[in-house]
Amino acid sequence: MTAIAWAQRGIGRLEPADKPLLDSFQQANFGPHSLPVRPDYHQWMYEDVPHPDVEGPQFWVCKRNGAIVGQQCGIPFLLQAGERVTRASWAIDLMVAPEWRLRGVGPALSEAHAMASPVSISLGMTDAAYKSYKRTGWTDLGTIPTWVRLIDAPRCVRVSPFKGPLVTAAGAVGGPLLSGLSMGGNALARLRGASLELVPAFDERVDTLWEAAKSAHPALARRDRQTLAWRFDQLWACDRLRRFYVVRRGEVMGYVVLRVDEWKGEPVGVVIDYLTRPGWTGAAFALTVELARRERMTALLCRTLNARAVRTFNALGFLSLKNGVRFPTRVMARVGQNGEPFKAVVSDPKNWLITAFDSDIGFKGLGE
């Protein structure tokens, strides 16, 4: 569709003059205290993104009768697919005013976003967005499981922080077994000469790690120093995050980004992101489990799609909640005409490494 055709439908990129209209729309549809209405969030997410769209910030709006009635945003990123790299975008914050739903606004906004990048990915969409994407040719890649490592099973049962299957599992998994798995995994990491090094921010060493690790996964978003600094070191809530390097004899073998949330008064560790050299995921998570045990966390969670790490997580005593703690985190992909060479890789969920680093699924804490 041409730019004129989009304009005739009221679809276009956000202009500076649209800001008052956008404020009114977001206040009414997201809520006055939500992330999208924060000025620092808008600047960081759309203006400071490390791999920007050459056409400008990925923020589309639909205007009708002098008001904004819908929006669709994107986070541009570089998709590493083996040795090849292509532009891609995470689809986020699709919202249509209630009175304009089922009138073609949502699909038109989604199409405008999809046409801007060779590859588009959406994580954690609502039921309405999921149905809309399915109708417009997106591929369903399933869900991102939440991997849960119980650290103190009795405390998990007592406060019932996750309800349902996790409480049942907590009652079935004995404390001695969990302790044995912790000691065994930690001993293996120590045997390899690995330890966790807390760092205040990501430095140039992570670029070396990225070059060594990127080929281990057929599809993942770039995780170099520039990207990680933007996502974690410049985040408005960066003080809630701890960055650890997995180090062996001074060499960085991986990293883990950890946040501690609270659920019903109990501390729960959340691994927001991780990346390791081939063969080092087990050591990284064994050391993180041991850290969680020393700091008396109730459990350790990691929301990640990583087929290559399933056996590792199982061996370390992690339980897989395929539909998440509260609701499923769906994954969908749309490959445009310029992305055809990447379609086979992108369309297979077994190829992906996805964590809460990706898109905007890691911003909210467990109790939020």
List, for residues 222-270, the tens digit of each pLDDT value: 999 999 999 999 998 889 999 999 999 999 999 999 999 988 788 999 9
Question: Rounded distance, CA 251 to CA 249, Å?
Answer: 6
Which CATH number applies to 3-143: 3.40.50.740, 3.90.79.10, 3.40.50.300, 3.40.630.30?
3.40.630.30
pLDDT tens string 11-69: 999 999 999 999 999 999 999 989 999 989 999 999 999 999 999 999 999 999 999 99
Q: What whole-number percentage of the chain has pLDDT above 90? A: 71
Average confidence score pLDDT of the chain: 88
pLDDT tens string 281-335: 999 999 999 999 999 999 999 999 999 999 999 999 999 988 777 778 999 999 9
Closest C-alpha among 110, 26, 15, 103 to residue 64: 103
Which CATH number applies to 146-327: 3.40.640.10, 3.40.50.1370, 3.40.630.30, 1.10.8.60?
3.40.630.30
Instruction: Give the ranges where the chain is alpha helix by DSSP (H).
Output: 3-8, 19-29, 39-42, 105-114, 127-135, 153-159, 164-172, 175-191, 205-213, 225-228, 281-294, 310-315, 343-346
pLDDT tens string 90-143: 999 999 999 999 888 988 999 999 999 999 999 988 887 888 888 888 999 999
Task: Report pTM.
Answer: 0.90
DSSP-assigned letters across all residues of 96-130: E-GGGTTTTHHHHHHHHHHTTSSEEEEES--HHHH
Range(s) within the chain of domains with CATH label 3.40.630.30: 3-143, 146-327
Helix axes 105-114, 127-135, angle to 10 degrees: 70
Q: Alpha carbon 67 to chain centroid distance?
A: 32
Can you tell me whether residue 34 is helix, strand or coil?
Answer: coil
- The DSSP secondary-structure symbol of 43 reads I
Can you tell me whether residue 272 is helix, strand or coil?
Answer: strand
What is the pLDDT at residue 191?
58
